[in-house]
Amino acid sequence: MSPANRRTADTSVIAAIHHPLRRRLIDLIGVEGPSTASRLAEATGELVGNISHHLKVLAAAGVIVEAPELARNRRERWWRSAHASYSWSVADAGGDPAAELVATSAEEANLAHHASKVRGWFEDRAEYDEAWLRAAFSTESWVTITPDRLAELSGRIQDLIQEYYENPSEDEDAERVFVFAHGVPAKP
């Protein structure tokens, strides 16, 4: 069962969200909350005009939406996430070579994004106390299952992560944590 805020992505959405800067903007808006182009430019070190362009691309794909209620004047534009997460499969391309290329490229970009978050942890973990060093984890297992059971496992993992997403810790020692999982047929 997919969370209510999960959206199946079509080719235009996949292409929009898998540009490196746009992916970072999505992460910033998703984690920090609604923002303006100026604030995002400051956070990324990019020019406001460049950020505005990428925000328009994300808005055209329906990934973000305007939040006019946050604007203090008619010129100020605030943006918020439209969905918490997206899903797609190369199988959704239906044999269309262009759509398969977009989906495959997005999978590669996702893997690179995931690996960069783990590498960032490796680089920065000296800044964290022992509790965080012990709590951080990676796990892997070889299981023998059918496609239906793999889909079930995926749903259960997504539901568990969604539970933590919807009920964030409010303790003063709480931190943002990047969680991801892959379950793919493979050979040892």
Tell me the per-residue pLDDT of 64-98, one tens digit each, with 9 for 90 and over. 999 999 999 988 999 999 976 788 888 888 889 99
Specify the pLDDT at position 3: 46
What is the domain partition of the chain in residue ranges?
A: 6-128
Stretch 171-185: mean pLDDT:
92
Which pTM does this prediction carry?
0.81
Distance CA 61, CA 136 (A): 34
Least confident of 60-69, 90-99, 157-166: 90-99
Tokens describing residue 158: 């997504």
Stretch 9-22: mean pLDDT:
88
From edge to edge, which strands make up the β-sheet containing 35-36? 35-36, 78-81, 64-66
Q: Residues 109, 23: contact at Cβ < 8 Å?
A: yes
Stretch 42-57: mean pLDDT:
97
Q: Residue 179 pLDDT more than 90? A: yes
Does the domain at 6-128 match CATH 3.20.20.150? Answer given as: no
